[in-house]
Amino acid sequence: MDQLLQIGGSLLAILALAWLAGKMQLGGDRRIRSEAEARELADEIMTGFDPIEIAIDRAGYGALLRDGDGRVMVLRRHGAHFAGRLLDRRPTARLDQNLLTIEAEDRPFGAVTLDLGRQAQVWAASLRRLEAR
């Protein structure tokens, strides 16, 4: 009987935590859905970064942003949040039709593959214009 009460109590606690996480909007499937949202994320990562060009991955998992000074920021989903890096030097980039894979200088950030559609070629060419490593 004690074992059944313990199992029941544990199950109840798990359900309560799952409900609480849902109410707090933790986890979930967060994506970049608009240029405005991409701007907000970029500003959170680097205050004052004001993009004039934005390319959002078709699935919303990441984005590329360029400001008026020609600086480029890459955003990628990291769990339920987004991380970003400023690409101040030419990254290793591979273009495969509509997919652009970028490897930032910051190894822990990892590689990012973005489905940018027709914009992939334009962004790949612009990344080549960044200062070489």
Tell me the one-letter amino acid at 96: D
* Residue range of the domain that includes 6: 1-28
Same domain for 85 and 111? yes
pLDDT tens for the chain, 133 residues: list them. 889 889 988 999 999 998 888 788 676 778 999 999 999 999 999 999 999 999 999 999 999 999 999 899 999 998 778 999 998 788 889 999 999 999 877 778 889 999 999 999 999 999 988 877 5
Same domain for 49 and 95? yes
> What six digits make up the tokens of 96?
């495969």
pTM, two decimals, is: 0.76
Residue 62 falls inside a structural domain = yes
Task: Supply the CATH number for residue 97's domain.
Answer: 2.30.29
Same domain for 18 and 39? no
Query: Cβ distance 21 to 80 under 8 Å?
Result: no
Same domain for 51 and 23? no
SS3 category, 55: strand
Domains in the chain, number: 2
- The 10s digit of each residue's pLDDT in 10-30 is 999 999 998 888 788 676 778
Residues with Cβ within 8 Å of 56's Cβ and at least 6 positions away in sequence, in order, are: 32, 34, 35, 38, 62, 63
Residue 65 falls inside a structural domain = yes
